[in-house]
Amino acid sequence: MTILTKKKIIIANWKLNGNLILIKNLLEKISLIPGYILKSIDLILLPPHVYLLEVKRNLFKKDEIYIGAQNIDKHFFGAYTGETSVLMLQDIGVKYVLIGHSERKKYHLESEKSISEKFKIVKSCNLIPILCIGETKKEKQLGQTEIICKKQIDEIFNLLEHKDETFNNSIIAYEPIWSIGTGQIPELKEINEIISFIKNYIKKKIFPKKVKNFFVIYGGSVNSNNVQRIFKKGGSDGLLVGAASLSHKDFSKIIYNSYYTNKKENI
Ligand code: PEP
């Protein structure tokens, strides 16, 4: 499976939220967005696993909106009660898998090693990983943002055999941990600098081959008011949206504002 997009990617991470009514409302409201706007983005919805099929069944434009999972288990099948495997996701038509979200590190003690293993499994099944990386507040204050991102990327490189293909067909979400759910976002300059650092670092690692279909997006307290700022003169290939993706008003506005900002930027 490949991402063949030159569009902006917008990902909705619902986390542990949502129900059948919210799904119905949200999809209905998204369906009111004009086709030319929806065509200009790759829209990916990450509901809780239990609702993946419901979202898929209710997608009005199956070719333009994709579903993804918020996590997977490291095993393909077996005695691992309560888990979901990548094969099951593949079976129901899931295309994307979020990996290494900071909330999984914090509440489920996920290690960098386990994150790399999951990345490898997702790639081995031809699904598209969305790898979250980013620094804590303390690390930012110590000026370690680049070092931390580099370290998290290296963990992935170290585990994969075909290193030059590691990040083909992949998305990295730069999500400063201090920004998630806090309403604080980095300066635009800082976002653009770190995104360009991540892209250059990965390109340098796989020299002389070229990384194909690789995108870096921003996540952390994105809402309809700051989306213009994030995309302005932006190096960001898209957005990972948490809380604001649960409100149909906010989320629709994010989509509209992304479209108009990017249109202006490309003139
Ligand atoms: C997230 O958790 O991935 C996220 C970006 O959350 P929020 O937008 O709520 O900060």
**87: three-class secondary structure by DSSP:** helix
Q: What is the mean pLDDT of residues 229-252?
A: 92
CA-CA distances (angstroms) from residue 190 to 71, 85, 150, 164, 231? 28, 36, 16, 28, 13
CA–CA gap between residue 127 and residue 102 (Å, rounded): 21
User: What band does 59 get if pLDDT is binned at 50, 70 and 90?
Assistant: confident
pTM confidence score: 0.95
pLDDT of residue 172: 98
Does the pLDDT value for residue 156 go beyond 90?
yes
Question: Ligand 1 centroid vs 161 CA: distance in angstroms?
Answer: 32
Q: What mean pLDDT do residues 160-170 have? A: 86
The pLDDT of residue 3 is: 67
Whether residue 240 has its Cβ less than 6 Å from ligand 1: yes
242 Cβ inside 6 Å of ligand 1: yes
Q: For ligand 1, pick from 221, 230, 251 the residue to mutate: most ligand atoms within 8 Å of CB.
A: 221
Give yes or no for residue 181 CB within 6 A of ligand 1.
yes
* Active centre residues (catalytic): 101, 175
Name residue 215's amino acid.
F
- Res 86: pLDDT: 97
Of 2-16, 201-215, 239-253, where does the model show the most confidence?
239-253
Domain-wise residue ranges, the chain: 8-265
Q: 98, 180, 185, 218: which to mutate for ligand 1, most atoms within 8 A of CB?
A: 180
Q: Cα separation of 225 and 230, whole Å?
A: 10
Q: Which residues of 109-140 are buried (b: 16+ CB within 10 A; e: fewer)?
A: ebebebbbbbbbbbbeeebbbbbbbbbeeebb
Tokens of 224: 């309809």
| Averaged pLDDT of the chain | 92
Domain at 8-265, CATH homologous superfamily: Aldolase class I (3.20.20.70)
Is the distance from the beta carbon of residue 246 to the nearest atom of ligand 1 less than 6 Å?
no
Residues 6+ apart with CB under 8 A from 219: 11, 13, 132, 173, 174, 175, 179, 180, 239, 240, 241, 242
CB proximity list for 201: less than 8 A, separation 6 or greater:
149, 150, 153
Question: Looking at ligand 1, which residue's alpha carbon is closest to its atom 2?
Answer: 242
- Inform me whether the pLDDT recorded for 267 exceeds 60: no
**Whole-angstrom distance, CA of residue 259 vs CA of residue 26:** 19
Nearest residue CA, atom 8 of ligand 1?
A: 242
Q: b/e map of 215-243 (b: 16 or more CB within 10 Å)?
A: bbbbbbbbbbebbbebbeebbbbbbbbbb
- What percent of the chain shows pLDDT beyond 70? 96
Tokens at residue 149, please?
Answer: 């991102």
Asked whether 235 lines ligand 1 (CB < 6 A), one says: no
**Which atom number of ligand 1 is nearest to the Cα of residue 13?**
3
